[in-house]
Chain A
């Protein structure tokens, strides 16, 4: 392709242009190169090729060349090059008792995985194994090799899991064993994993040094959880086979088995503890605690002999732990991983934990004393979860994600850190079992030093704070979990990825957050968190810029947001969030930009974008909520209901979805349900003016005026200048007979609003409701006068006509509203001013046209 040979001089030109271009924003590079290269297309092509390669080169050759070597020396397995269930299989990297292991890639995300191919020995076996392995999907712990997916067909099963680098412990133990402190470090990690699994009712059954991976940084990972159900059968055959004299195989299978298992009892948590004792002995000495040249001799030793003594250099504390684990009677051992962990931590000196902060939760979770665990300083989170299952009356954990600080190279605005904050909130929100506060509510706490107010005002147990850095095509996210009751840090972590993997990066952080908050994450939620598509950094950046301007909610900023979203979509039409966000913009423009865009014009565009978003990603809650919103005001009631439910199902913490669904329920006269939904929205976003005002408005329709007034006052306490709440308050005061107050409020609002259309309508409605008909007529005339020179929403006119009893004109303006598809039309079935005309044939005809023949 590159036929022309590069010369040093030419290369220098290319390098200089590349170095200059890379400093520019991506969208400015084209123009820069055009200017610099003039008609030298070849030069331009060289630089452009380099810029393109650069995008994917950030990690390239940053690792060890020994890995490069492995590509050349990798052994070819039977399935190398094959595709299985969305994974491409590469080199075979291992083979063991349960199957072969291949290196592989997730075709969808490009993520590197290890694929374990279980030996194919019949459909039943495959089914049983996959059933077991699926349990392992629920285990998420830093010391347990993560299982991503279990794929099975009729004859075989594949397990996609975390690709780990390092050595199995059986190869890593030095001849004389590790030192006591090294052993302790490893044993704590092992105990943490086992405690976590036991708390989730998972027993490993095949713990051995060959199933423990030691990573280069000293991190230990337990492999093969959920794969070992078949063990008893294997043992039986191994023990009975007289021909089986290979001591290596025997050591690998039998020597970790507890006496009760050898006698034919079912393996339980305590037999895992036995295996931990064997492992501990091996770590300390490099030797097995029991010998036997034949299966029979070994079995006999395990059943009857004491283990070999430990060298005198081994501290007595570790010695005692090993002895406990290797008690012949399971009743004499630690009863589960939690006790083992507590003992090993006590030995190490209580709370002195090296690389992970103990996950101690704020007071809303009872401590697991009831389980009889020896509790020292802190309790493994798993046991708290067990305890929670026991009582089950606990409320959901409540999390406030505070505004992340951003240090982004260049002087770009805070759109990046804002956007990532918002994304974390959205992603956390999709997890069942936690309450996540919305950003409008949490962004107020950007600079608050003490978290007491976060706890008090937002009712949040845990705050997430942190920072995001982006430089040189890498994004780094640092998050910290803080107990709002004590201001104490519960956990902190840093995550880093390439810029095109920023969605996966957000998932990394969310996974860690939920794990450390101790929430039980359902398998389906967990799967969602594992799926993250790659996204072009420019596409994501444009999207985040769009969000930045959207959040300002002014007419100009909405238009800017539209431009950024469109640019994002242009570059990657499959990026669903940009479509959904654009749909929201169109909806807003249809209501906010009075005079330039009517709903009838904007809504089809919004609908098209919402549908495009769903087509690109059916699991995007925001897109379904937006389609629900559009369908509601398009009088497509069935679709609206379905879409709102889907949105809430996907993300129960999406405040706007609850609020919009409440609006829909108001339209359908299902007021008690509407109140519940809108109050749920307020819990999630207590500082959103729109939502708090909607609470009042819904309560007003539900004929609960005192509570409605209280809600409006809450909104006004947040922002006394919020006009919507103020004029609704004025209107509602008429419902409790406080006419003078109502008129005073309405007059004030009208003046503040410079007597604009909606304020005149409100004023007129208040006058009408308080019996001041002449004043109401005057307001109506002023409104009609205004409508001759500018756009006036027909809803504000027909409401006033109906209130004044002028039904002919009321229906006339209603006709206009229907033609425009104004939002207000959807509320005709509950609007009080329509009461006198409910039996009017014109009203019935209107209802039929908006698809509501079932309403009275």
Chain B
């Protein structure tokens, strides 16, 4: 892989160790992944801010290819890499949104409710800052649901990948995800 980071071997090692249950290595692993993801994200957001279709998985996958030695990992490791990346993506995206919000406020712009009540949810934009706040509240009484939303939405992970990371069945993920979406939807419509 061109441009592979010299610390690839170390990051790969940390990832494998973390996936094997050595929780303490996360502290070393996170900053390394964060740096790469933030670099990719800011490059992307600077150049193509209008491309709404970009999935975080695309960035995460790019980071994964750059940071991890593919020969030494299994699918499980990849899922776990995506798992931590979801937290990071959430932070990057929310920070980005907050910064722009502040900028706009500075320019005297009030946020305008764009969506009529009858607009179907899927067609409307999600206020990512408000979502982040609501997700924080949700996590206080249901941390697992909070993580599921983080993995699904901010990490772009599939139901099966989330099930793997959380160590629960796919059916449970679907159930929890459905309920969390409904609750968050309600919160954002308040």
Q: Do A and B come from one complex?
A: yes
On A, residues with C-beta under 8 Å from B are 1, 5-8, 10-11, 15, 18-19, 22, 49-54, 56-74, 76, 80-81, 88, 90-91, 93-94, 103, 105, 107, 109-112, 165-167, 171, 216, 472, 498, 500-501, 534
Closest Cβ of chain A to B161, distance in Å, is 15
Residue of A nearest to B154 (CB): A65
* Residues of B85-114 whose CB lies within 8 A of A: 89-90, 93, 96-98, 100-101, 104, 109, 112, 114
Given contacts A64-B56, A72-B128, contact A56 B121 (CB under 8 A): yes
Please report the C-alpha to C-alpha distance between residue A8 and residue B137 in the assembled complex, in whole angstroms: 12
Closest Cβ of chain A to B107, distance in Å, is 8
Which of B122, B141, B178 has a CB less than 8 Å from the CB of A11?
A: B141
- Chain A proximity mask over B43-55: 1 for CB below 8 Å, otherwise 0: 0010011111111
Given contacts A56-B120, A105-B114, A110-B119, contact A61 B131 (CB under 8 A): yes
Inter-subunit contact B96/A73 (CB<8 Å) = yes
Please report the C-alpha to C-alpha distance between residue A110 and residue B184 in the assembled complex, in whole angstroms: 21
The 10 closest A-B pairs by CB, nearest first: A59-B122, A71-B125, A53-B186, A72-B97, A68-B126, A68-B128, A54-B182, A110-B119, A57-B185, A60-B121
Which of B118, B131, B186 has a CB less than 8 Å from the CB of A68?
A: B131
Inter-subunit contact A80/B112 (CB<8 Å) = yes
On B, residues with C-beta under 8 Å from A are 45, 48-56, 89-90, 93, 96-98, 100-101, 104, 109, 112, 114-116, 118-129, 131, 140-142, 149, 152-154, 156, 175-176, 178-179, 181-186, 189-190
Inter-subunit contact B128/A18 (CB<8 Å) = no
Which of A64, A68, A105, A167 has a CB less than 8 Å from the CB of B97?
A: A68
Inter-subunit contact A19/B179 (CB<8 Å) = yes
Known: A15-B179, A61-B181, A105-B115. 9 other contacts (CB 8 A): A19-B179, A53-B186, A57-B178, A61-B131, A63-B52, A68-B93, A70-B125, A72-B104, A81-B112
Residue of B nearest to A61 (CB): B153
Residue of A nearest to B176 (CB): A15
Residue contacts A-B, CB under 8 angstroms, 6 given: A57-B182, A71-B127, A81-B114, A105-B116, A105-B124, A165-B53
* Residue of A67, A71, A80, A105 with most partner-chain B CB within 10 A: A71
Inter-subunit contact B104/A68 (CB<8 Å) = no
Which of B90, B114, B154 has a CB less than 8 Å from the CB of A91?
A: B114
Inter-subunit contact A111/B123 (CB<8 Å) = yes
Inter-subunit contact A58/B121 (CB<8 Å) = yes
Inter-subunit contact A216/B122 (CB<8 Å) = no
- Which residues of A are found within 8 Å of B182, using beta-carbon distances? 18, 50-51, 53-54, 57
Given contacts A7-B141, A11-B142, contact A70 B49 (CB under 8 A): yes
Closest Cβ of chain B to A647, distance in Å, is 29
Which of B52, B114, B178 has a CB less than 8 Å from the CB of A64?
A: B52
Please report the C-alpha to C-alpha distance between residue A167 and residue B156 in the assembled complex, in whole angstroms: 21
Residue of B nearest to A80 (CB): B112
* Residue of B98, B121, B131, B181 with most partner-chain A CB within 10 A: B121
- Which residues of B are found within 8 Å of A19, using beta-carbon distances? 175, 179
Inter-subunit contact B54/A66 (CB<8 Å) = yes
Please report the C-alpha to C-alpha distance between residue A498 and residue B121 in the assembled complex, in whole angstroms: 10
Inter-subunit contact A69/B93 (CB<8 Å) = yes
Inter-subunit contact A66/B181 (CB<8 Å) = no
Inter-subunit contact B141/A6 (CB<8 Å) = yes
Please report the C-alpha to C-alpha distance between residue A58 and residue B123 in the assembled complex, in whole angstroms: 11
Residue of A nearest to B115 (CB): A105
Please report the C-alpha to C-alpha distance between residue A103 and residue B141 in the assembled complex, in whole angstroms: 37
Inter-subunit contact A62/B122 (CB<8 Å) = yes
Inter-subunit contact A534/B186 (CB<8 Å) = no
- Which residues of B are found within 8 Å of A111, using beta-carbon distances? 123
- Which residues of B are found within 8 Å of A71, using beta-carbon distances? 114, 125-128
- Which residues of B are found within 8 Å of A73, using beta-carbon distances? 49, 96-97, 100
Residue of B nearest to A88 (CB): B116
- Which residues of B are found within 8 Å of A60, using beta-carbon distances? 121-122, 126, 181, 184-185
Residue of B nearest to A76 (CB): B109
Please report the C-alpha to C-alpha distance between residue A534 and residue B123 in the assembled complex, in whole angstroms: 13
Which of A52, A70, A107 has a CB less than 8 Å from the CB of B116?
A: A107
Please report the C-alpha to C-alpha distance between residue A68 and residue B6 in the assembled complex, in whole angstroms: 34
- Which residues of B are found within 8 Å of A88, using beta-carbon distances? 114, 116
